[in-house]
Amino acid sequence: MKPRLLMSLSVLATVGFASCQSGNQKSSTTDTLKSKSVAVVKLAADSFRKEIDGRKTALYTLKNKNGAEAIFTNYGGRLVSLLMPDKNGKMVDVVVGFKSIGDYEKSTEPYFGATIGRFGNRIAKGKFTLEGKTYSLFTNNGQNTLHGGKKGYQYVVWDASQPNANTLVLQYLSKDGDENFPGNLDVKVTYTLTDDNELKMDYEAKTDQTTVVNLTNHAFFNLNGDGSGEILNHEVKIYADEYTPVDSTLIPTGKIEKVKGTPFDFTKATTIGARINDKNQQLTFGKGYDHNYVLNNTKGMGMFHAATVKGDQSGIIMDIYTQEPGLQFYSGNFMQSKNTFKSGAKDDFRTAIAMETQHFPDSPNQPAFPSTVLKPGQVYKTSSIYKFSK
């Protein structure tokens, strides 16, 4: 980890922590979880071959000795599919996504599975000041900038290489002025599928000018399987005693508040749907959960243990570990049934969740938050692990 991350984590140790139709979709699969059928769709490599901005896209498959698979495309550095064994040993695709590059290009939700940058999450009013200079970004989320702006990393074609069956290396040079961010940023993301059923995400970046960086992955998870319906019965435990409340535009107010006694308390395993409809201003602002949790220094895998999620039908457990100070928990509140997943199901309201390891939203404008500034000569380096068990 680079110095700013180490400093951020030590600060956090003292501070404490960054759609309602359910799917009655039919499927021809033989994989059955209770009463619902979950299709494990074999993706066609030809459907992911295309040329975008003069660069070729493709499909990349990682495999481990257990038969688990993680499938990516270099268009947007996207995790397209993640096959993990359920409680009965059958493979379940726990990541929702699409069957072709064309589906990703036309999707009304641009972030499915994508590697996010240059700055994950929101920047207030698309502006920040760095070393005395103010930078104005494209505002693509109301009055704010979200996930890097108009053409974030989800829309670029990454250079990809597969050094072995378990590993994919993605690289991208984000040039000075890209989406109005300063500095040439050389980004490398390494995705590794281990034999312990872990998907490891290693991020690295260097710059030639002072800039801000906050990289993450925006996988949408449904641990019961792509197309299995809503996620409200998933159990969630988040290792955070505090969170960052937001205003009506989902920008942090700057305060860090306790979760105890609020619908945001997931310090004990609780179903997502248990309190999601409570009368609470923060839930109203987010249309559910769309908030950054301040991780509480619980250790695991040599990192912070961020969260544990369990699929109620599949029995699949996902443990998230990270070197990042925050976790954005998003309960699929803006899913609108406008896109068709690879299973054939629509992206209905709350049929997937995102758990994004990150620095806090709007950090460039919030001096009390852990810094996201990267200077020449420094190396941005951070890792997260999504570990699956049953």
Q: CA angle at residue 338 from 334 to 342, to 5 degrees?
A: 105
- DSSP collapsed to 3 states, the chain: CCHHHHHHHHHHHHHCCCCCCCCCCCCCCCCEECCEECCCCCCCHHHHCEEECCEEECEEEEECCCCCEEEEECECCEEEEEEEECCCCCEEECECCCCCHHHHHHCCCCCCCEEECCECCEEHHHEEEECCEEEECCCCECCEEECCCCCCHHHCECEEEEEECCEEEEEEEECCCHHHCCCCEEEEEEEEECCCCEEEEEEEEEECCCEECECEEECCECCCCCCCCCCCCCEEEECEEEEECECCCCCECCCCEECCCCCCCCCCCEEHHHCCCCCCHHHHHHCCCEEEEEECCCEECCEEEEEEEECCCCCCEEEEEECCCEEEEECCCCCCCCCECCCCCECCCCCCEEEEEECCCCHHHCCCCCCCEECCCCCEEEEEEEEEEC
Quote the pLDDT of residue 155: 98
* Domains of the chain, start order: 3-389 (2.70.98.10)
Q: What is the pLDDT of residues 270-304, one digit of tens each?
A: 999 999 999 999 999 999 999 999 999 999 999 99
Residues in the chain predicted with pLDDT less than 50, given as ranges, are: 1-35
The predicted model scores a pTM of 0.90
| Cβ neighbours for 6, distance < 8 A, ≥ 6 positions apart | none
Active-site residue list: 218, 356
The two tokens of residue 366 are 């919030």
Whole-number Cα distances in Å, 177 to 34, 97, 243, 333, 365: 52, 31, 32, 32, 19
Structure tokens at 127: 């502006």
Task: Respond yes or no on whether the N-terminal peptide bond of residue 118 is cis (omega within 30° of 0).
Answer: yes
pLDDT digits (tens, 9 = 90+) for 200-234: 999 999 999 999 999 999 999 999 999 999 999 99
pLDDT the model gives residue 37: 56
Q: Are 338 and 347 in contact (CB under 8 A)?
A: yes
Tokens linked to 257? 């508040």
**Please, are residues 302 and 387 in contact by the beta-carbon 8 Å criterion?**
no
Using only C-alpha atoms, what is the Rg of the chain?
19
What pLDDT, on a 0 to 100 scale, did the predictor assign at position 175?
98
- Return the number of other C-beta atoms located less than 10 Å from residue 123's C-beta: 27
